[in-house]
Structure 1
Amino acid sequence: MSALKERLRSDLTTALKAREALTASTIRLVLAAISTAEVAGTQARELNDEEVLDIVVKEAKKRRESATAFDDGGRPEMAQKERDEAEILAAYLPAGLSDAEVAAIVTAAIEQTGAAGEGMKAMGKVMGLVQPQVKGRADGGAVAAEVKRQLGA
């Protein structure tokens, strides 16, 4: 069993004992998403830590997007609940990267691929190199915007 999944299960038990309803329900939702992913496809399998992290990242992103949608729809109490859930999930994610760190990673990737003069044609090459380095630590849209900016689009 992956260490992250084991940590989630342990934290669920702790939250249940402490009667922390929001934490328990949030962790339950993530564990359900993990279980669904494990049985998806033709054969059930155990997910590794990286795959479990991908699911936690997706769930955290869903919460942030839902909070924005609830804010736009005039439902501040629901938006706050989604933000609280996203904050709980943030504890399971690696530390985020600053804008300067993302810019440095993108600059290094452009130099490594030799894409400096190619413009937007090289975006796929650069993103392919950058994505594994920032996975779960930076928003994909912000990374893409930085790549575009540095490629001169």
Structure 2
Amino acid sequence: MSALQAQLKADLTRAMRAGERPTMSVLRTALAAIANAEAQAVPHTPASQMNSTPIAGATAGLGSTDIPRRTLTDDEMREVIGAERSERLMVADTLHEAGRGADAQRLRDEASVLERYL
């Protein structure tokens, strides 16, 4: 686990203990986005090359479809967090134009939490 990921998890724990629901939500979302970025595409294996199993196209054996996750660098994690922040700011602008100022402010607050990690 990288230093940035450890900091996110530590801050999430602190926010949970303090009952800071908006901070908890945005940190969980950031950690989930990082986990999604670490996932790798599952290689496609034609059915003709798979084991003979009762279900067409299935593979047999415990862990037969598991693949290792990528390990992101801190810079790559910052890119993911930056994208999350940018998305929130873009949606906040749209909501503000639509007259939903409270929702726009909530997203701007979430973006400011994410900005601490960039």
- Paired residue type of 1:38: E
In structure 2, the gaps of 5 or more residues are: 43-66
Match of 2:91 in 1: 66
Q: Is 1:91–2:112 an aligned residue pair?
A: no
With the length of structure 2 as denominator, give the TM-score of the two structures. 0.75
Shift of residue 41 of structure 1?
2.2
Greater Rg, structure 1 or structure 2?
Answer: 2
In structure 1, the gaps of 5 or more residues are: 94-153
1:76 equivalent among 91, 101, 118: 101
Match of 2:18 in 1: 18
Shift of residue 25 of structure 1?
0.4
- Paired residue type of 2:14: T
Residue correspondence of structure 1 range 1-153 to structure 2 within 5 A:
1-42=1-42, 43=67, 44-93=69-118
Q: Deviations over 1:22-75 (max 9, x none)?
A: 001000000010111111324422211111111011011011101101011111
Bigger relative contact order, structure 1 or 2 (CA pairs below 8 A, ≥6 apart): 2
- Paired residue type of 2:21: A
The CA distance in 2 between the partners of 1:92 and 1:64, in whole Å, is 16
Residue aligned with 1:47, SS: coil
With the length of structure 1 as denominator, give the TM-score of the two structures. 0.58
The CA distance in 2 between the partners of 1:2 and 1:24, in whole Å, is 20
- Name the structure with the higher helix share: 1
